[in-house]
């Protein structure tokens, strides 16, 4: 790990402060949360003073960023003026599209080993003998090239010690060093430009000792027993997540966040959010890492922001998936149905519903489902190609939607949540603890003729299709202005 410190301690109910950004409770699967509000600290967090937590118990779905469901913008702190300014909910005022891939790693089909080993525990008859042991590099390369060609973006797990067979930074026993290095080179070249890399904790199966990476006794599983993380062993959980991140860092795959294997952390979500954020930050220095745990199948979809610290410019984002997995599922032989995402007439399915509501449209998939049972199967991948084509047909000019990495979605949510904005006459003053590309303002109540940011004029975009950072766009009811902030304190002048 990058840094080491003294032992960590957990205090129960240490802070009196209320979260400043809790908006609305969201019903999601894999969660036993209630509507009870719990304290969330906004104080700077370092490992030496790490984990002053609330006690375990029913958890708040704390810190959902953004306004209540249906609202699109964050209200402005402003003086009495005719000009009204809001921070757009999404960068460039385009609904983000993204896809999450779970259970992926170097060459191995995680599910072969997971089903084989789990059957011995619970006696279920999962079809482990029917699924392949390996997902070929050639298939992963073809998939990555398709995504780059079509601008697809998202999150791609790389399990760092798959099924406790070995560390990917030291070599897996099933493959030669050359075979593994070839896959890693491919991943760095083709996957990383389009996808965030995250660990899906250490093994995606049995819990291991983070020092030896050998399964602990008695045997427990990341997806099952560690749905409830041991909150009285904060340093253990920190070390567990940090070594998962460090292994990826060692092979040149810097993680942007972490992914829960199955139910990992779901019953201690508040604790998990804090430990995960600090562990990723300790290894990578990333001030705003994120985690993926939850799925919303039929409700509004938010992008929660946890433990925001304006002074330190740090926070933990959470990406919530907005669909089920209809690309073969976690078994690799489950349901495949492109129409459940978006129908051929481009109106039905979950994605149009989410997009039209203005919520992030985040698909969830499993790598074994994309590949299927053999190299000519590709059931999930083929269905996804149909979904991508239909999304392109629905928004052919890219005026309303845009593919984004999950980190781009969560970083923008952190920036928006933590920003302070004031308006004086036709001058907008921003205090931005987190600066992100494509930061977007919506200006109403003024006949805008020009916009400048820190003295630099923005170009006027002729259409939504041409609207990008460094531009402003006049529409019937408002003007959009997008830019990449160069500093925490930024001044925007509006010519009216």
> Going residue by residue through the chain (496 aa), what tens digit of pLDDT does each one get?
444 332 233 222 222 222 322 332 233 333 333 323 232 333 334 343 343 333 333 333 333 333 223 334 454 444 345 799 999 999 999 999 999 999 999 999 999 999 999 999 999 999 999 999 999 999 999 999 999 999 999 999 999 999 999 999 999 999 999 999 999 999 999 999 999 999 999 999 999 999 999 999 999 999 999 999 999 999 999 999 999 999 999 999 999 999 999 999 999 999 999 999 999 999 999 999 999 999 998 889 999 999 999 999 999 999 999 999 999 999 999 999 999 999 999 999 999 999 999 999 999 999 999 999 999 999 999 999 999 999 999 999 999 999 999 999 999 999 999 999 999 999 999 999 999 999 999 999 999 999 999 999 999 999 999 999 999 999 988 999 999 999 999 999 999 9
379 in Cβ contact with 57 (< 8 Å): no
Q: Which residue has the tokens 């609330």?
A: 54
Q: What is the dihedral of CA 418, 423, 429, 430, to 10 degrees?
A: 10
d(CA 444, CA 475): 10
Question: For position 477, what pLDDT does the model report?
Answer: 86
367 in Cβ contact with 102 (< 8 Å): yes
Question: For position 402, what pLDDT does the model report?
Answer: 98
87 in Cβ contact with 74 (< 8 Å): yes
Question: For position 31, what pLDDT does the model report?
Answer: 34
pTM: 0.87
Long-range contacts of 411-415 (CB under 8 A, 24+ apart): 411/288, 411/317, 411/436, 412/90, 412/91, 412/436, 412/438, 412/439, 413/65, 413/66, 413/303, 413/304, 413/305, 413/317, 414/65, 414/288, 414/305, 414/308, 414/315, 414/317, 415/439
Question: For position 81, what pLDDT does the model report?
Answer: 55
Burial 385-407 (b: 16+ CB within 10 A, else e): eebbebbeebbeeeeebbbbbbb
317 in Cβ contact with 304 (< 8 Å): yes
317-340 pLDDT per residue, tens: 999 999 999 999 999 999 999 999
62 in Cβ contact with 117 (< 8 Å): no
d(CA 484, CA 470): 7
Neighbours of 422 (CB within 10 A): 14
d(CA 473, CA 461): 5
Q: Which residue has the tokens 């708040």?
A: 60
Cis peptide before 218 (omega within 30 of 0): yes
d(CA 428, CA 422): 6
Question: For position 82, what pLDDT does the model report?
Answer: 78
Question: For position 8, what pLDDT does the model report?
Answer: 34
**387 CA to centre of own chain:** 21
369-383 pLDDT per residue, tens: 999 999 999 999 999
Question: For position 299, what pLDDT does the model report?
Answer: 83
State both tokens at 251.
């092979």
**496 CA to centre of own chain:** 39
């Amino acid at each position: 790990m990058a840094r080491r410190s003294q032992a960590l301690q957990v205090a129960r109910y240490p802070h009196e402060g209320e979260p400043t950004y809790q908006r609305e409770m969201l019903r999601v699967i894999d969660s036993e949360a209630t509507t009870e509000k719990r304290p969330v600290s906004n104080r700077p967090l370092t490992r030496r003073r790490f984990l002053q937590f609330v006690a375990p118990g029913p958890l708040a779905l704390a810190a959902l960023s953004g306004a209540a469901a249906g609202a699109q913008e964050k209200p402005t702190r402003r003086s009495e003026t005719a000009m009204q300014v809001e921070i757009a909910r999404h960068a460039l005022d385009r609904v983000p599209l993204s896809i999450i891939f779970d259970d992926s790693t170097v060459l191995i089909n995680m599910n072969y080993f997971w089903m084989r080993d789990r059957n011995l525990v619970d006696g279920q008859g999962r079809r482990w003998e029917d699924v392949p042991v390996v997902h070929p590099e050639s298939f992963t390369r073809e998939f990555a090239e398709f995504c780059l060609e079509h601008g697809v973006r998202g999150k791609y797990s790389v399990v760092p010690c798959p099924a406790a067979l070995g560390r990917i930074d030291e070599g897996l026993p099933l493959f030669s060093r050359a075979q593994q290095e070839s896959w890693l080179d491919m991943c760095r070249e083709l996957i990383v430009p389009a996808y965030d890399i995250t660990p899906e904790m250490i093994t995606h199966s049995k819990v291991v000792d983070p020092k030896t990476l050998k399964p602990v006794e008695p045997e427990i599983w990341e997806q099952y027993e560690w749905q409830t993380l041991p909150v009285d062993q904060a340093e253990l959980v920190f070390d567990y997540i940090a070594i998962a991140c460090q292994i990826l860092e060692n092979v040149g795959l810097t993680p942007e966040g972490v992914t829960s294997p199955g139910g990992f952390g779901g019953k201690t979500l508040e604790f998990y959010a804090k430990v995960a954020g600090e562990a990723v930050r300790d290894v990578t220095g990333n001030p705003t890492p994120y985690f993926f745990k939850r799925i919303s199948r039929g409700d509004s979809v938010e992008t929660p922001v946890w433990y925001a610290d304006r002074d330190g410019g740090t926070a933990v984002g959470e990406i919530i998936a907005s669909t089920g997995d209809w690309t073969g599922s976690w078994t690799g032989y489950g349901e495949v149905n492109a129409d459940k995402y978006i129908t051929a007439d481009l109106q039905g399915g979950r994605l149009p519903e989410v997009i039209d509501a203005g919520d992030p449209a985040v698909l969830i998939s499993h790598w074994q489902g994309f590949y299927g049972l053999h190299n000519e199967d590709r059931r999930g991948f083929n269905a996804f190609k149909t979904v991508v084509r239909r999304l392109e047909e629905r928004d052919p000019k890219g005026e309303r939607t845009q593919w984004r990495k999950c980190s781009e979605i969560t970083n923008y949510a952190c920036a928006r949540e933590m920003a302070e904005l004031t308006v004086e006459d036709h001058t907008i003053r921003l205090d931005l603890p987190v600066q992100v590309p494509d930061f977007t303002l919506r200006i109403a109540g003024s006949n805008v003729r020009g916009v400048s940011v820190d003295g630099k004029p923005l170009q006027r975009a002729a259409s939504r299709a041409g609207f990008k950072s460094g531009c402003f766009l006049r529409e019937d009811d408002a003007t959009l202005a997008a830019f990449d902030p160069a500093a925490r304190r930024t001044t925007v002048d509006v010519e009216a």
